[in-house]
Amino acid sequence: MRPAPGEVLREILPALRFLSRLPVRLPSKPAVDGPPDLDRLGPAFPIAGAILGLIGGIALVAAHALGLGEFLAATLAVGVLVAITGALHEDGLGDVADALGGNSVARRLEIMKDSRVGSFGVCALILAFALRIGALAALAGQGAVAAGLGLVAAAGVGRLAALWMVAALPFARPDGLARSAGVPSLESRRAALVLALVIAALVIIPTFGPLSLAGGLILGIAAFFGIVRLARAQFGGQTGDVAGTATLAVEIAFLLGLLIFARHP
C-alpha cells in the first residue's frame, strides 16, 4: 500500500533525527524505544536528505558571497554536511574500505566492526572528500546557487541508496544492527524513489538542464550497483556500513554526473 502524503510528511522529523545530529524534537515520544522502522521512514529519506543538502548548500552560497572563492566555499559546504550528519556515512566508508584488507568474509566482517580507522579507510575518505569538494567547486563555477541546488539533489538521491541496499542483499551478520531496522517494502522504496526524482528534477533541470540530471542519475545508479557487487563478493551481504558507503558513493557519483553533463553558458 502506497503511503499517504500526510504520513510521509509526519515522518520527515523522525527521518532527520535518524540521519543527522540536528537537534530535532519529535511531536511525541515513540511508544516503544528501539531501532527505526525503515519501512515507515523510507519515503521521507529523500526529503530529509534534501533538507540536509540544503543546509550545506546555504553554507556554500554564504561562503561564496563572502568572497572565499569556489574551493573554500565547497569545502565549507561539505564540512557542514559532515558535521550535521555526524559523519554517519563517512564512518561506514572508512570501515568498509578497511575491511577489504581481510583475507576472508569472516575476517572482513570482523575488521568492519573495529572502530579504529586504518590506511585503507583513510585513503578512501581522502578520495571521497576530494571528489565531493572538487565536484562542488567546479559546479560553483556556474554559480554558487546552482552548486548548492546540486548538493540538495545529490543528498536527496543519495539517501535512496541505503533503502535499496538493505533490500538488494541479505544481511551479512545474523546479529547486526541493520537487521533490527527491518527491510523497507517495495511500496516504501518506490515512494522514496518517486520523491527523490521529483526533488532532483525540480532543482536540477532549471539550473543544469535535463541532460545533466540524466547524467547524474546514470552515474548514481552505476555507483549503487558497483557497491552491491562489491558487498556481495567481499562480505556475502550488506551491513549498515555498506549502506552508508552506498549513500556516499551515489551522492558523489551524482555530483560528478552533473558536472560532466552540465549545461555551460
Choose the weakest-confidence range: 13-27, 129-143, 174-188: 174-188
User: So what's the pLDDT on residue 182?
Assistant: 72
pLDDT > 90? residue 123: yes
CA distances from 16 to 118, 176, 249 (A): 30, 22, 20
Radius of gyration of the chain (CA): 18
Q: Is residue 107 part of a domain?
A: no
Per the structure, the count of domains in the chain is: 1
- Three-class DSSP category at 190: helix
Q: Is residue 265 part of a domain?
A: no
What CA–CA distance (Å, rounded) separates 236 from 246?
Answer: 16
Domain that holds residue 169: 44-87+131-260
Q: Is residue 180 part of a domain?
A: yes
Query: For residue range 124-167, what is the model confidence (pLDDT) as tens digits?
Result: 999 999 999 999 999 999 899 999 999 999 999 999 999 999 98
Across the range 96-119, mean pLDDT stands at: 88
Q: Is residue 225 part of a domain?
A: yes
Beta bridge partners of 190: none
Grid cell, residue 251, equals: 551522492
Q: Is residue 39 part of a domain?
A: no
- Contact by Cβ (8 Å): 14, 159: no
Closest among 178, 179, 183 to 167, alpha carbons compared? 183
pTM of the model: 0.92
Q: Is residue 38 part of a domain?
A: no
User: So what's the pLDDT on residue 183?
Assistant: 82
User: So what's the pLDDT on residue 115?
Assistant: 79
Q: Is residue 66 part of a domain?
A: yes
Q: Is residue 175 part of a domain?
A: yes
